[in-house]
């Protein structure tokens, strides 16, 4: 069965009283596991990540239903989402996705850890000795480009870099708050994501337990809550 036939079948399942529109389907070199479906002038234009070029027919069927259900705002059985997640979490698909993000994604600018008031490299070394016995391998450290409140910190595994929001490089922010945010990202370096019930769990129970070892955990959480 061709991809066109797969999507036509999915369309008939979701909209049995509507004629199947003309379709243009292509594999596209997205920088990751992305897919799109757009309807214009009774023509469906569908782009499927080229990471999926050899996906099993059942996965194509689930993907078709997922894309079209979003487009038409229809509900589908959760088994299709589970089948899709199970496939994308397979080791060889994750390896392809990482390669695509590394090779095709926009290069993230590393601005370095020396801020106006705080040096992230010095802070990392102190936290590493205090909480991890110096055993956390040091990634690159960088302040974010903007003073964002939405992403306080993140560990970019692809580029092996911890980014901390520049908003914490301030005399108005207690030092322990910045330490907590950096400590949280250091835990991401130590604790890898796990897969449970076809879902990626980023904050595992072990992660959450160790996060509370931060000496001023409650104070930092309260300060951030009112931030």
- Pairwise CA distance, residues 45 & 22, whole Å: 9
Among 102, 125, 129, 131, CA closest to 113: 125
HSE, side-chain direction, 13 A CA sphere, residue 194: 9
- Given a contact cutoff of 8 angstroms between Cβ atoms, the answer to whether 2 and 10 are in contact is no
- Given a contact cutoff of 8 angstroms between Cβ atoms, the answer to whether 115 and 175 are in contact is no
Instruction: Show the beta-strand stretches assigned E in the chain.
Output: 22-28, 35-40, 43-49, 140-143, 153-156, 161-164, 194-196, 199-201
Instruction: Determine the pLDDT at residue 1.
Output: 83
What pTM was estimated for this model as a whole?
Answer: 0.64
Among 147, 138, 223, 226, CA closest to 180: 223
Classify residue 196 as exposed, middle or buried by CB count within 10 Å of its CB (0-12, 13-18, 19+): exposed
Instruction: Determine the pLDDT at residue 210.
Output: 96
The yes-or-no verdict on residue 220 having pLDDT over 60 is yes
What confidence tens digit (pLDDT) does each residue in 13-29 have? 999 999 999 999 999 99
- Pairwise CA distance, residues 169 & 112, whole Å: 13
Checking 54-59 for CB contacts under 8 A at 24+ apart, the result is 55/87, 56/87, 57/1, 57/6, 58/83, 59/83, 59/84, 59/87
Could you give the angle at the alpha carbon of 161 between the alpha carbons of 155 and 162, nearest 5°? 50
What confidence tens digit (pLDDT) does each residue in 69-83 have? 999 999 999 999 999
Question: pLDDT band for position 117 (50/70/90)?
Answer: very high
What confidence tens digit (pLDDT) does each residue in 174-217 have? 999 999 999 999 999 999 776 665 566 778 889 999 999 999 99
- Pairwise CA distance, residues 41 & 22, whole Å: 9
Residue range 3-104, CATH number = 3.30.2010
What confidence tens digit (pLDDT) does each residue in 83-114 have? 999 999 888 898 888 888 777 765 566 778 99
Domain spanning 120-225: CATH superfamily: Metalloproteases ("zincins"), catalytic domain (3.30.2010.10)
The yes-or-no verdict on residue 38 having pLDDT over 90 is yes
CATH 3.30.2010.10 occupies which residues in the chain? 120-225
Residue 201, SS3 per DSSP? strand
Is the torsion defined by CA of 126, 132, 135, 137 positive or negative? negative
């Amino acid at each position: 069965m061709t991809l066109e036939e797969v999507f036509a079948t999915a369309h008939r399942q979701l909209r049995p009283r509507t004629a199947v529109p003309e379709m243009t389907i292509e594999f596209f070199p997205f920088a990751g596991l992305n897919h799109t479906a757009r309807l214009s002038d009774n023509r469906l234009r569908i782009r499927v990540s080229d990471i999926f070029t050899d996906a099993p027919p059942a996965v194509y069927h689930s993907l078709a239903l997922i894309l079209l259900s979003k487009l038409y705002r229809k509900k589908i059985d959760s088994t299709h989402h589970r089948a899709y997640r199970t496939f994308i979490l397979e080791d060889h698909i994750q390896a392809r996705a990482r390669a695509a993000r590394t090779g095709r994604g926009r290069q993230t600018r590393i601005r370095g850890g020396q801020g106006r008031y705080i040096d992230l490299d010095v802070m990392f070394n102190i936290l590493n000795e205090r909480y991890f016995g110096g055993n956390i391998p040091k990634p690159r450290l960088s302040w974010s480009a903007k003073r964002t409140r939405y992403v306080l910190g993140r560990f970019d595994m692809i580029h092996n870099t911890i980014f901390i929001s520049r908003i914490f490089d301030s005399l108005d922010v207690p030092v322990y708050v910045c330490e907590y945010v950096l400590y949280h990202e250091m835990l991401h370096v130590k604790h890898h994501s796990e897969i449970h019930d076809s879902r990626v769990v980023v904050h595992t129970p072990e992660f959450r337990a160790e996060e509370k070892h931060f000496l001023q955990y409650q104070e930092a959480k309260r300060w951030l809550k009112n931030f």
